[in-house]
Structure 1
Amino acid sequence: MDIKKKQNIEKQHISIFLMMMTLHKIVYLLLCICIYYTNASPPIEQVMDKLIKIISEEQVLKPAEYKFPQWEKKLGLYRSEVRLNFFGEPVQAELRKNKYINVFDNNMFATGWIASVLLETNMYGRAPKTIDNEHLSLAVDAIETFHDHNQNESSVPLMTFWSQTYNQTTNAWESTPDNLRDLIADLDDNLERLEDILKVLGIKNIAQLIDRIRSTSEGLKNAFEIPPDFDDTYLNIGLGVQLKLLQDKYPSLYFRWLQTNSNMKKIIDLTLRYSYRPSSPYLDQNTIDPRTYFWMRDFIRDNPQAIIVTTWAQNITEVRTAAQKCIRMPFNLNNVDVTVGANVVYGITSAIMYDLLDFKDYFNQDMQTLYLSTASLIAWSIKNSMKNRPDLAQVYYPSHYNFLWYGSRTLFILELARHQQKVVPDVFNRVYSLLSDTYRSDVVKFFQDNVRSDKSSYDDFLGVNDTNIFGKSEPTGEDRIFSTAQTVNILIASFTYLDGNTGKLKWITDGPQIDTIKIMVNNSISWLLDNIFKYQPFNCFFSGSVKGFNQLPFWYPANFYQYLNGTTLDPDHFDTKTQSLVDSIVGVSGYIDETSYERMISEKHFNISTPTTFNGYNSPGAEFPFWSSQPYTHSVTLLALAQYNNLDK
């Protein structure tokens, strides 16, 4: 073979080799691209579109009547359900998270918040339209059915958690959860059928579940007679403000809302009438649930002239007679819940900032004191970690992330007022100082201390104490989506404002702290985009006030013991096994000096030692019913994504 021919062959071999190398690189590059797009987070717009669709599908568009196992579902409400907080090994955890073991609940709270969040998403975020006029109209109409019908004046925006039915015997309107009421009433008749259904569904531990349903139902019966509350009431006020601000997009709804919610003077009168005033000489004002006093007594000592919003629109004088009409506060006494306080403070702030009717005309000195006292309590409770008793401080609303978000919403609109140079009452500036200091230091530290090992996501308590069949810890993260989304919402509310010129969310300042906050937000958003549909979208937005034996108010120090009829009750000569405390009033009246109170803590009450510690919401033998709403989780996640999408990065 001549040299020239040999050289040509070698060149061909080299060319083939180079072609193979090039082809290999191309294939490798294509493979990398495929892997990248397979593992990459879906575009934020795509996820928001999917969330909007899922939320819309969870609204009741066709009402249904109760006929076990079919639940009553009221037109316009969003899905909300009652579950039992079992935990631990798989068969136990399944009783909590199984899709069939829950009761659909027709309450105002979930729908009110979902509607508000959907509107807020388009007000502050960048997202497709979250809800059309037809679906919002259905929600607003549904919410209107939760007014308190026992008021003797018209258009009073006093609201109930559950809608009311008229009792001809008592001549009064009663608030009750329809499906739970009917299930409990029919429980004995349906036990065999219930067992058969659970067996078909493959549910284990049926006997334990039914036993827990029985014990829970007995405890819930007296909780079904609740009066109106200030949480739902001021949620409704906040919704009214939103409808006013969005009249151009939903032109008729604000005027429809006004028809049944225009009496602002009355709602402020009621807010003050039922407020807690520890230094008042009047029993109706100075007496509070012993659990409330236990955790906030230091605040009361330092703020003796405080006026603090309470949970229920009822007092001792009224409950003495109203109880006979099936309208009574749990344990016949009011309490203070910081989550309720956060919602009331926001409702007041937004109503005055945006001129909701004549609300600000009645913002008198007592109302300003209530506003400042309640906001101060919120800041104090965060800084003091609820005195390590979140079970008492957030007695109805266990989710700490939800509470923190409610409080951050007030800081957000107060920050906005400063940038818009709005003229606001001086007390607003004092509340701004309290909340800005708390949320921009203590709350940030809380997140840094409680972030999971991935430095991106957060857990509250649902499923965190689950195990595998070998007893090894295996958390299921059922409120992880909710808690992580709310963390993003809290950070954005605490560190940004809405620029009126650009419509973008801008960071309040530059500097190292903002850089840290940006990293926290970016990490959580990336995690949400990767995991949003991989976990159960549960939350615990509401619960009963008792989460086990230790949360009963009777075991805490008190100085007021009476029956509803006014006769004295002696806790030292009372047999809880044979005598009932249903018609008792056990509370703390006025202020007890700390030396005396410490001595009372060391004593027994009804022969029970004071529960001085809290071991978490997942305690053996303390399983409790909680309210969860999947569309609420999806809504706050949508809000987080939309606000992130609108950041002036």
Structure 2
Amino acid sequence: MTLHKIVYLLLCICIYYTNASPPIEQVMDKLIKIISEEQVLKPAEYKFPQWEKKLGLYRSEVRLNFFGEPVQAELRKNKYINVFDNNMFATGWIASVLLETNMYGRAPKTIDNEHLSLAVDAIETFHDHNQNESSVPLMTFWSQTYNQTTNAWESTPDNLRDLIADLDDNLERLEDILKVLGIKNIAQLIDRIRSTSEGLKNAFEIPPDFDDTYLNIGLGVQLKLLQDKYPSLYFRWLQTNSNMKKIIDLTLRYSYRPSSPYLDQNTIDPRTYFWMRDFIRDNPQAIIVTTWAQNITEVRTAAQKCIRMPFNLNNVDVTVGANVVYGITSAIMYDLLDFKDYFNQDMQTLYLSTASLIAWSIKNSMKNRPDLAQVYYPSHYNFLWYGSRTLFILELARHQQKVVPDVFNRVYSLLSDTYRSDVVKFFQDNVRSDKSSYDDFLGVNDTNIFGKSEPTGEDRIFSTAQTVNILIASFTYLDGNTGKLKWITDGPQIDTIKIMVNNSISWLLDNIFKYQPFNCFFSGSVKGFNQLPFWYPANFYQYLNGTTLDPDHFDTKTQSLVDSIVGVSGYIDETSYERMISEKHFNISTPTTFNGYNSPGAEFPFWSSQPYTHSVTLLALAQYNNLDK
């Protein structure tokens, strides 16, 4: 072979390996390192522009969903325009995903005992301190501070609270910083922050919630199963989370029961009723888990102590429901303390009703109102993954021949049918033109300087990784003998799923560090004027003090609805409800359509966590790496 041919051959080899995807092990090592670096190992106190950062938590931040021309998009994605948020949800999920990666995948050890211990200790600070019994695993999104005036513990987002408390001074300093950084359109950003700050204040007074509560239950199950690897952490978790009877009592106390004669049980947010009224009609005896651990009777007095549900009324979010169903399933399957001893008839009804609602919602495309069905958790990919986790462990129970309650088999049938047909079709309908990757909504409506569409794919990594996780959870089980993930069956459908997974994994390996690793794992319940509950049909109007509120004689310009309770009590027949939809409420027409999360004038705050994106991507790669292909 001549010299020039040898040189040419070597050049071709170099080009091939330069363009080839990095080995999966190499990418996983890098992800583990990045995730580890995002954990707070040195706490910091708030002193603007320095944010308070609590030891053991992972990075999570509040951003504003601006979109459109490059200047607008920059306000959304700029690395300096965000607020570090100390919440339980992001850290709870990151810790859970890191553990799950080694439970079901093949990857290097994701987290050592020291760093997991810091995360568990941080999560423990999010217990509801207003409980009058010990060791109740009722959790809050934000940690609580004690108010000596009201003699109560208040849940508060410390950095947002402190930023807004001295807003004018902080915004002036922020403006100076942005000028130094060369950020454009500063005046518009400052005006937007001013306009949204007042509404954010009311969001600071939330009670405990069942999403964080059952996330913590699921984490407890994982710590139990991994005692050989992290020997002390499960026993530490038990010290403050052992009262399973109380948590089940609370779950039932605050559940939604449309046929109940009691106002605290049969009254729900008008937005919830709007999208799920057909389900309520067909399931009148349903018991459905709600978001908040609070009812109308309690909010009447607790609001004075700065502990209140948004709009003083409970709601149903299918993502919350998916987390609760998983928490219940795992607690009973793996004998978490005495949880199964209290799995009574009402709790079984709640379990089945909530799972049925999840399946119904997916099959009916959220009745075209994902903004109301996923009122706090807009990411559809995240919601679908939470639901698929239950299907995965129910499938595992079948292969392990575990004895489970009969209602588990009914839920398995619901979820297997939904995830192995409707969810697959959703992915096939929403895959991007490359047939490999997926977008949710962050940046999809951005344009370039010429006004031409130019999506930035900021949640593309997250959505694509979650798609892989959902498909693997829906179509595989963990073989107890080999420790490998095996496909549930053979056949044309499995071949299709394999192609989908292979395509997405190849895309992730090629692009994982090329896009912003953003996500929208949480948001406020209002994403613009049309999401306010007052504009939807209702049949219950009161103030917190019990006096009647007349919506037909109410001036929204001069009167306040902050202390109002506007809801739907019981069931309204569809003929009457359709008439109510055609009427105005507080002189506003019912918003009957949803125009997407990127609607002009409807920008909203959202919570994003880059290590959460990296964690679920790591999970996708590790599980793929463990597939019995």
CA RMSD, aligned part only? 0.5
Structure 1 Cα separation of the partners of residues 144 and 192 of structure 2: 27
What are the superposed Cα offsets for residues 384-432 of structure 1, whole Å, 9 maximum, x if unpaired? 0000000000000000000000000000000000000000000000000
**Over alpha carbons, which structure has the higher Rg?**
1
Structure 1 Cα separation of the partners of residues 34 and 170 of structure 2: 33
What are the superposed Cα offsets for residues 239-266 of structure 1, whole Å, 9 maximum, x if unpaired? 0000000000000000000000000000
- What's the secondary structure of 2:607's corresponding residue? strand
How far did 1:205 drift?
A: 1.2
How far did 1:546 drift?
A: 0.1
What are the superposed Cα offsets for residues 507-560 of structure 1, whole Å, 9 maximum, x if unpaired? 000000000000000000000000000000000000000000000000000000
Structure 2 Cα separation of the partners of residues 569 and 511 of structure 1: 61
How far did 1:41 drift?
A: 0.3
- What's the secondary structure of 2:358's corresponding residue? helix
How far did 1:27 drift?
A: 2.3
Structure 1 Cα separation of the partners of residues 172 and 194 of structure 2: 14
Structure 1 Cα separation of the partners of residues 120 and 488 of structure 2: 34
Structure 2 Cα separation of the partners of residues 466 and 35 of structure 1: 34
- What's the secondary structure of 1:224's corresponding residue? coil
How far did 1:215 drift?
A: 1.4
How far did 1:186 drift?
A: 1.3
- What's the secondary structure of 1:66's corresponding residue? coil
Who is 1:486 aligned against? 466
What are the superposed Cα offsets for residues 263-299 of structure 1, whole Å, 9 maximum, x if unpaired? 0000000000000000000000000000000000000
Counting aligned pairs with the same residue, the percent is 100
Structure 1 Cα separation of the partners of residues 304 and 85 of structure 2: 25
Who is 1:152 aligned against? 132
From 197, 201, 206, give the equivalent of 1:217: 197
Structure 2 Cα separation of the partners of residues 391 and 203 of structure 1: 31
Residue segments in structure 1 that go unaligned for 5+ positions in a row? 1-20
Segment of structure 1 superposing worse, 558-567 or 182-191: 182-191
Who is 1:418 aligned against? 398
Structure 2 Cα separation of the partners of residues 163 and 192 of structure 1: 29
Structure 2 Cα separation of the partners of residues 135 and 84 of structure 1: 31
What are the superposed Cα offsets for residues 38-94 of structure 1, whole Å, 9 maximum, x if unpaired? 000000000000000000000000000000000000000000000000000000000
From 338, 345, 359, give the equivalent of 2:325: 345
Aligned pairs for 1:10-21 (under 5 A) are none
How far did 1:192 drift?
A: 2.1
Who is 2:183 aligned against? 203
What are the superposed Cα offsets for residues 113-149 of structure 1, whole Å, 9 maximum, x if unpaired? 0000000000000000000000000000000000000
What are the superposed Cα offsets for residues 590-609 of structure 1, whole Å, 9 maximum, x if unpaired? 00000000000000000000
Q: How many residue pairs are counted as aligned between the two chains?
A: 629
- What's the secondary structure of 2:63's corresponding residue? strand
Structure 2 Cα separation of the partners of residues 598 and 209 of structure 1: 40
Structure 2 Cα separation of the partners of residues 538 and 188 of structure 1: 29
- What's the secondary structure of 2:59's corresponding residue? coil
- What's the secondary structure of 1:83's corresponding residue? strand
What are the superposed Cα offsets for residues 185-230 of structure 1, whole Å, 9 maximum, x if unpaired? 0111223222111111111111111111111111110110000000
Structure 2 Cα separation of the partners of residues 349 and 219 of structure 1: 37
Who is 1:269 aligned against? 249
How far did 1:31 drift?
A: 1.6
Structure 2 Cα separation of the partners of residues 318 and 368 of structure 1: 26
What are the superposed Cα offsets for residues 442-468 of structure 1, whole Å, 9 maximum, x if unpaired? 000000000000000000000000000
What are the superposed Cα offsets for residues 337-382 of structure 1, whole Å, 9 maximum, x if unpaired? 0000000000000000000000000000000000000000000000
What are the superposed Cα offsets for residues 141-163 of structure 1, whole Å, 9 maximum, x if unpaired? 00000000000000000000000
Structure 2 Cα separation of the partners of residues 146 and 82 of structure 1: 19
- What's the secondary structure of 1:173's corresponding residue? strand
Structure 2 Cα separation of the partners of residues 25 and 442 of structure 1: 54
How far did 1:26 drift?
A: 2.1
What are the superposed Cα offsets for residues 283-335 of structure 1, whole Å, 9 maximum, x if unpaired? 00000000000000000000000000000000000000000000000000000
Who is 1:534 aligned against? 514
How far did 1:22 drift?
A: 3.3
- What's the secondary structure of 2:302's corresponding residue? helix
What are the superposed Cα offsets for residues 546-588 of structure 1, whole Å, 9 maximum, x if unpaired? 0000000000000000000000000000000100000000000
Segment of structure 1 superposing worse, 31-40 or 332-341: 31-40
Structure 1 Cα separation of the partners of residues 31 and 369 of structure 2: 35
Structure 2 Cα separation of the partners of residues 184 and 190 of structure 1: 8
Who is 1:18 aligned against? none
- What's the secondary structure of 1:134's corresponding residue? helix
What are the superposed Cα offsets for residues 158-186 of structure 1, whole Å, 9 maximum, x if unpaired? 00000000000000000000000000001
Who is 1:297 aligned against? 277
- What's the secondary structure of 2:203's corresponding residue? helix
Segment of structure 1 superposing worse, 180-189 or 113-122: 180-189
Structure 2 Cα separation of the partners of residues 94 and 337 of structure 1: 31
How far did 1:28 drift?
A: 2.3
How far did 1:24 drift?
A: 3.4
